[in-house]
Amino acid sequence: MVYRSVGLYRALGVLCLVVTLLVVWLGWQFEVAIRNALLITSLFFLAIACIYFHLGNEEARGAFL
């Protein structure tokens, strides 16, 4: 099994969270149809961020060992 750094998971989580906030912010600049599509897309980035944060917590606890 490969040990991955907890910092890597947290950095990727923060990166996805920043992308989520950027997509939401950009969504308010467009009309309604594009705004709704971007808000739905941002939910996928938010889910990925949550997954990375969860993996970081699991790795910190040593649950994968």
Q: What tokens were used for 24?
A: 């939401």
What's the pLDDT at 65? Answer: 55
pLDDT one-digit tens code per residue, 1-35 = 566 778 889 999 999 999 999 999 988 888 999 99
Quote the pLDDT of residue 20: 94
Give the integer Cα–Cα distance in Å for 26 and 30.
Answer: 7
Global pTM reads 0.80
Q: Burial letters for 37-60: b for 16+ Cβ neighbours within 10 Å, e otherwise? A: ebeeebeebbebbeebbebbeebe
Which residue did the predictor score with more confidence, 64 or 39? 39
- Exposed/middle/buried for 13, CB within 10 Å: 0-12, 13-18, 19+? buried
